[in-house]
Chain A
Amino acid sequence: MNVPRHWREQIRRYRLVGSKCTDCGRLSFPNRAVCPKCNSRNNENYQYVGRGKIISFTNINSPPKEHKYNLPFAVALIQLMEGPVITAQITDARAEELEIGMEVEMVTRKIMEYNDDGIICYGYKFRPIVEYAHP
Chain B
Amino acid sequence: MGDNVAVIGVGLSKVGEHWEKSLRSLAIESIWMAFEDSGIDKVDALYVGNMSSGSFVEQEHLGALIADFAGLGPIPAVKIEAACGSGGAAFIEGYMGIKSGMYDYVLVTGVEKMTDVLPSKTTSILANASDRDYEAFHGVSFVALNALVMKRYMHEFNVKREELSIFPVISHKNAPFSKHAMYRKEISLEAVINSPIIADPLTLMDCAPICDGAASVILCSEKKAREFTDIPILVSGVGIATDTLGVHDRKHITTLSAAVEASKKAYKMAEVTPKDIDIAEIHDAFSIMSALSLEDMGFAKKGQGTKMALEGQHYIGGELPINLYGGLKARGHPVGATGVYQIGELVYSLRGDGRVDAEVGLAENIGGSGATVSVCVLERGD
Seen from chain A, the residues whose Cβ lies within 8 Å of a Cβ on chain B are 1, 9, 30, 36, 55-68, 70, 73, 75-77, 84-89, 100, 111-112, 121, 123
Residue tally, chain B, CB below 8 Å to A:
37
Judge whether B139 and A111 touch: CB under 8 Å. Answer: yes
Judge whether A56 and B139 touch: CB under 8 Å. Answer: no
Given the contacts A61-B199, A75-B148, A86 and B121 also touching, CB distance less than 8 Å: no
Residues of A within 8 A of B121 (CB): 65
Residues of A within 8 A of B123 (CB): 62-65
Given the contacts A55-B253, A85-B248, A60 and B141 also touching, CB distance less than 8 Å: yes
Cα A111 to Cα B132 with chains together (Å): 14
**B355 CB-CB contact with A under 8 Å:** no
Judge whether A62 and B148 touch: CB under 8 Å. Answer: no
Interface centre among A63, A64, A121 (most CB of B within 10 A): A64
Task: Tally inter-chain residue pairs, CB-CB below 8 A.
Answer: 103
**Chain B 115-159 per-residue mask, 1 if CB under 8 angstroms from chain A, else 0:** 000111101100100000111111111011001110110010000
Judge whether B199 and A60 touch: CB under 8 Å. Answer: yes
Say whether chain A's binding surface is mostly helix, strand, loop, or mixed.
strand
* CB contact between B148 and one of A9, A65, A77, A89 (< 8 Å): that residue: A77
Judge whether B155 and A100 touch: CB under 8 Å. Answer: yes
Judge whether B249 and A85 touch: CB under 8 Å. Answer: yes
- With CB as the reference atom, state the residue of chain A lying closest to B145: A87
Cα A43 to Cα B52 with chains together (Å): 35
Judge whether B138 and A68 touch: CB under 8 Å. Answer: no
Q: How far is the CB of B143 from chain A (nearest CB, A)?
A: 7
Interface centre among A56, A77, A121, A123 (most CB of B within 10 A): A56
Residues of B within 8 A of A77 (CB): 148, 152, 247-248, 253
**Chain B 194-206 per-residue mask, 1 if CB under 8 angstroms from chain A, else 0:** 0011111110000
Residues of A within 8 A of B120 (CB): 62-65, 68
* CB contact between B149 and one of A56, A67, A100 (< 8 Å): that residue: A56
Q: How far is the CB of A87 from chain B (nearest CB, A)?
A: 5
Judge whether B200 and A73 touch: CB under 8 Å. Answer: no
Say whether chain B's binding surface is mostly helix, strand, loop, or mixed.
helix
Seen from chain B, the residues whose Cβ lies within 8 Å of a Cβ on chain A are 118-121, 123-124, 127, 133-141, 143-144, 147-149, 151-152, 155, 196-202, 244, 246-249, 253
Cα A57 to Cα B148 with chains together (Å): 6
* CB contact between B152 and one of A55, A65, A68, A112 (< 8 Å): that residue: A55
Judge whether A58 and B148 touch: CB under 8 Å. Answer: yes
Judge whether A59 and B155 touch: CB under 8 Å. Answer: no
Cα A84 to Cα B155 with chains together (Å): 20
Q: How far is the CB of B266 from chain A (nearest CB, A)?
A: 25
- Which 6 interchain pairs have the tightest Cβ spacing? A64-B124, A58-B147, A67-B139, A65-B120, A56-B152, A85-B248
Residues of B within 8 A of A65 (CB): 118, 120-121, 123-124
- With CB as the reference atom, state the residue of chain A lying closest to B120: A65
Q: List 16 A-B contacts (CB under 8 A).
A: A9-B133, A30-B133, A55-B152, A58-B144, A58-B200, A58-B201, A60-B141, A61-B196, A61-B197, A67-B139, A77-B253, A87-B140, A87-B247, A100-B151, A111-B137, A112-B139
Judge whether B148 and A56 touch: CB under 8 Å. Answer: yes
- With CB as the reference atom, state the residue of chain B lying closest to A73: B139
Cα A9 to Cα B136 with chains together (Å): 14
* CB contact between B136 and one of A36, A64, A68 (< 8 Å): that residue: A64
Cα A30 to Cα B249 with chains together (Å): 10
Residues of B within 8 A of A60 (CB): 139-141, 144, 199
- With CB as the reference atom, state the residue of chain A lying closest to B147: A58
Given the contacts A30-B134, A56-B149, A87 and B141 also touching, CB distance less than 8 Å: no
Q: A66-B124, A70-B139, A87-B135 are in contact. List 19 more A-B contacts (CB 8 A).
A: A36-B249, A56-B151, A59-B200, A60-B144, A60-B199, A62-B123, A63-B139, A64-B123, A64-B127, A68-B120, A77-B253, A85-B248, A86-B248, A87-B138, A89-B139, A100-B151, A111-B139, A121-B137, A123-B138
Judge whether A75 and B198 touch: CB under 8 Å. Answer: no
Judge whether A64 and B148 touch: CB under 8 Å. Answer: no
Q: How far is the CB of A54 from chain B (nearest CB, A)?
A: 10
Interface centre among A62, A84, A89 (most CB of B within 10 A): A62
Q: How far is the CB of B354 from chain A (nearest CB, A)?
A: 40
Q: How far is the CB of B233 from chain A (nearest CB, A)?
A: 39
* CB contact between A64 and one of B141, B149, B196, B202 (< 8 Å): that residue: B141
Cα A60 to Cα B140 with chains together (Å): 8
- With CB as the reference atom, state the residue of chain A lying closest to B201: A58
Cα A10 to Cα B324 with chains together (Å): 49
Judge whether A75 and B138 touch: CB under 8 Å. Answer: yes
Residues of A within 8 A of B139 (CB): 60, 63-64, 66-67, 70, 73, 75, 89, 111-112
